[in-house]
A and B are shown apart, each in its own frame.
Chain A
Amino acid sequence: MKRPAKPTAPPLAGRKAILYTMGKSKTIELILPVATPAELRSMVKLSRTARRRVERAIAEAGLRRKTS
């Protein structure tokens, strides 16, 4: 079976993880305090114009083609 290029499981970052403690029959709930890049970007309230402005700046810096 071919392995997918990208992992299909959702990233653990910022999600609740259940840790099984050794030798004890209880679980600890832990929220990993990191976010995915997409989650981080959604934390900024950004208008379409602002997003386009940033995309253009990135493109002009020669780092990515402008997408819109």
Chain B
Amino acid sequence: MELVHDPRRVFLNIPFDTTYEPVFIGLVAALVHLGKHPTTVLEFGGGVEPRLDRLLGQIHGCGFSVHDLSRVQISGRGHSAVPRFNMPFELGLAVAVARQPRGQSAHAFALLEARPFRLQRSLSDMNGFDPKIHNGTRAGAVRCMFEIFADSAPADLRTALRLAGSLARVSKRLKRVHGARSLFSRVVFNDLFTAATLLREQN
């Protein structure tokens, strides 16, 4: 099922690692501060459509996508260790959607990395698209979103950083309430997004 296209919606193609949570919180807080609606594949749920169709529908439904390639690396140990292809694959889908003729699509994308010049080695096909560098930190993630989106909304970096700090505190409570080890589940993400909007309203 294809979502109705909404230019305010931003698709986040990110690694679902617990060590990535500070960056994730920074991204969600900054996007909410900037009047954007962050979405992820976590919201897919278990539909009857193939995962690829749902993924494409999700990307088509978003005006923008952000792809973090900082965890494109070997995952697992021993014989079960495999390279992580999902994130570059989803970037490829977004690039294809963005390059459709005008009128068929209104999609744009941006790249994130933790370290400068790493992307040039891991995915040289994207040379010419400079990634924003977040250094693996919450504040870095907020700054990256400001570099990408601050032109489109009234924005204040200090308020957004404060919102990200508050959201980090609330996220710990939410994980405890749900008995979850990480933020990367549908219900926890929904609560996190709602918490961000409520905190944004009171600021």
Contacts and interface: CB of A to CB of B under 8 A. Distances in A.
Task: Judge: A and B partners, yes or no.
Answer: yes
A33 to B, nearest CB: 4
B173 A13 contact: no
Interface string A22-47: 00000000011111111011011010
Contacts of B191: 50, 53-54, 57
B169 A41 contact: no
Nearest to B155: A34
A38 B177 CA distance: 24
Contact of A50 (B63, B170, B190): B190
B195 interface: yes
Contacts, number: 84
B72 interface: no
Interface residues of A, number: 28
B200 A13 contact: no
Nearest to A64: B202
B152 A34 contact: yes
A54 B174 contact: yes
Interface string B131-155: 0000000000000000000001100
Contact of A41 (B7, B36, B166, B194): B194
A34 B199 contact: no
Q: Which 3 A-B pairs have the closest CB atoms?
A: A34-B35, A33-B7, A57-B173
Given A37-B35, A40-B200, 12 more contacts: A33-B8, A35-B35, A37-B200, A43-B37, A44-B193, A46-B190, A50-B194, A54-B174, A61-B172, A61-B173, A63-B169, A63-B170
